[in-house]
Amino acid sequence: MSAQRGSKSKVYLLRLYDGSTDEIAACLELLLDKSGVGGIATTGETVALKMHFGESPETGHVKPRFIRRIVSWFQHRGTRPFLTDTNTLYRGSRADSVDHIRTAVEHGFTLSAVGAPVIIADGLRGTTEAKIQFEGKLLSEASFGHEFLKADSLLSVAHFKGHELSGFGGALKNVGMGCASRTGKLEQHSTTRPYVRASCIACGICSPWCPVGAISVREQAVIDDKTCIGCAECVVVCPAGAIGIRWDETADIFQMKMVEYVKAIASVRRGRIGYINFITDVHPLCDCYGTKKHAIVRDVGVVASLDPVAIDQASYDLVNEAPVAPGAELSDVYRRGSDKFRDLHPDVDPTVQLRYGEELGIGSRDYELIEIAESARSSAG
């Protein structure tokens, strides 16, 4: 949805009170009703639920029992939801549709469990795409998984967490990067360049993860800059933290391209996109990293909005306000009240995506947080 610059957007919060996510599952229908997010589709139409099925069962991805509730809400209103995502650049368990659907099924996203089928949006090998022409500052064309443009409406169901390239990942990243085809992902990553630090222990873990074979390992890992496509997977998988990114302007440009992709799809899906962020299991890194990390804060709850900038701004604020979780990988600097995401990823300014989203007119950082009252929740479920 396009929000007028300077206007306050509504973000609805289903807060987690007692530490149990069961109540959240029971109240998701209420959140869809109150937020207006459920209004993106009408009877007979298809709804693409943009998911992340998790790289391993241990990541913080949104779990099937929540998706079941969302699916059933849409089905009761005569719409036809399906679960979808695009294939990854890297060689994990979701690099093509065969492995991707198998992974989704292994993680419980079966038709019988969630009530909706999985359709991978960019085809067997991530090459089935559709392009949108638009006017951005950096880009004028965006490449998406084909089915995102064929579905009648799009619901982003994002797991809000830290991210090594964008500081945090929420609605803007789930749509901007997550709906992009392989071509689109490459375009967004094109200025990202990693380097190997002296602390490399030559374990070799990074090499097989690299999708283009750019890493060779002898006494130390060596990255061939000419071959590297900037996907940053090596940064995430290195157990020694020995791969860094040459930041200079690249972090900002990465985020700006990602946000331009949101602008592109929003331009052809006016009033047909909704956003839900699960602020639970808020890990330091993205879910593509298939190992569970300690959450940085206690679970906050779930937010919904028609504005992708407002929902991410609200999620970012809620995490920064939330109590630190036991075992969190945060420094003492944070504990005195600074930005948790900046603390996790000091080289990345995560507000770039929010500021640029507002500048492009796809949403507002000024939001009204509306909490779903306990009285309304007690009658739900």
Footprint of ligand SF4 on this chain (CB under 6 A)? 194, 196, 200-206, 209-212, 214-215, 217, 221, 223, 228-234, 238, 240, 242-243
| Shortest Å distance, C-beta 129 to ligand SF4 | 20
Count CB neighbours of 200 within 10 A: 18
Residue 41's Cβ-side half-sphere holds a number of Cα atoms within 13 Å equal to: 26
**Side chain identity, residue 229:** I
**Contact status, residue 181 vs residue 126, Cβ threshold 8 Å:** yes
Give the separation between CA 69 and CA 33, rounded to whole angstroms: 13
Locate all alpha helices (DSSP H) within the chain, ordered by sequence.
22-35, 64-76, 97-106, 111-114, 146-150, 171-176, 182-189, 206-209, 233-237, 250-268, 308-321, 332-335, 340-344, 351-359, 374-378
Q: Which token pair is 333?
A: 């600097």
**Which of residues 31 and 242 has its CB atom nearest to ligand SF4 in the complex?**
242
Q: Which token pair is 373?
A: 């009252």
| Shortest Å distance, C-beta 120 to ligand SF4 | 21
**Which of residues 106 and 347 has its CB atom nearest to ligand SF4 in the complex?**
347
| Shortest Å distance, C-beta 158 to ligand SF4 | 23
Terminal Cα-to-Cα distance of the chain (whole angstroms): 29
**Which of residues 47 and 95 has its CB atom nearest to ligand SF4 in the complex?**
95
| Shortest Å distance, C-beta 91 to ligand SF4 | 9
Which residue's structure tokens are 């997010």? 37
**Which of residues 28 and 228 has its CB atom nearest to ligand SF4 in the complex?**
228
Give the separation between CA 103 and CA 106, rounded to whole angstroms: 5
**Which of residues 62 and 243 has its CB atom nearest to ligand SF4 in the complex?**
243
**Which of residues 192 and 280 has its CB atom nearest to ligand SF4 in the complex?**
192
| Shortest Å distance, C-beta 192 to ligand SF4 | 7
User: Alpha carbon 245 to chain centroid distance?
Assistant: 20
**Which of residues 4 and 291 has its CB atom nearest to ligand SF4 in the complex?**
291
Pairing state between β 215-217 and 301-305: unpaired
Give the separation between CA 12 and CA 222, rounded to whole angstroms: 47
| Shortest Å distance, C-beta 225 to ligand SF4 | 8
Alpha carbon separation from 271 to 152, 172, 177, 261 (Å, rounded): 11, 16, 20, 17
Which of these, 300, 301, 303, lies nearest to 274 by C-alpha position?
303
| Shortest Å distance, C-beta 296 to ligand SF4 | 23
| Shortest Å distance, C-beta 242 to ligand SF4 | 4
**Which of residues 118 and 229 has its CB atom nearest to ligand SF4 in the complex?**
229
